[in-house]
Amino acid sequence: LGLPINYLQPDIRPQVFEEMLRSVQGGSEFIILLLMGAVLAPVSEELFYRGMIYPVVRGYLGPLWGAIAAGLIFGLAHWDFWRTIPLAVGGAVLCYFYEKTGSILVTMLAHGVWNGVMAVIIYFSLINV
């Protein structure tokens, strides 16, 4: 989903979290940001979006449209016009995981792994090997 964005908007500004990762001055700062991005953010966001928003929307729209609507809310809540659709798709996928497993812990883990992998990729892309 990132390829069309790169084509349509090649000079898109990085998200705030990415900017923070790019300004890290050492390993300890990176570890703190990694914990924030891969643990704290996923736990709080999953409790809110998949634990509270999705069940309500699912009650009105059913699982499929509920996942799409909750995903769209998740994407829009990140206040990033160009990344709304990819984030909405990711949010809908997390709703699907929640629906299939019945466990918010699964979505927290999936969200945390995604954020953590992205943070590690960004961090190590800055290191001169």
* Host domain of residue 71: 34-126
15 falls within a domain: no
Task: Summarize the confidence of residues 23-39 as an average pLDDT.
Answer: 90
95 falls within a domain: yes
107 falls within a domain: yes
CA nearest 35: which of 124, 100, 112? 112
Residue range 39-89, pLDDT digits in tens: 999 999 999 999 999 999 999 999 999 999 999 999 999 877 777 888 899
93 falls within a domain: yes
Q: Indicate the number of domains in the chain.
A: 1
DSSP line for the chain: -HHHHHHH-TTPPPPHHHHHHHT--SHHHHHHHHHIIIIIHHHHHIIIIIIIIHHHHHHHHHHHHHHHHHHHHHHHHT--GGGHHHHHHHHHHHHHHHHHH--HHHHHHHHHHHHHHHHHHHHHHHS--
pTM recorded for the entire structure:
0.84
pLDDT of residue 126: 76
24 falls within a domain: no
**Residues 46 and 116 sit within 8 Å (Cβ to Cβ):** no
Task: Summarize the confidence of residues 106-115 as an average pLDDT.
Answer: 96
19 falls within a domain: no
Instruction: Give Rg (Cα) of the chain.
Output: 16
89 falls within a domain: yes
43 falls within a domain: yes
Distance, in Å, from the CA atom of 108 to the CA atom of 113, rounded to the nearest integer, reads 8
Confidence at 1, pLDDT banded by 50, 70, 90: low
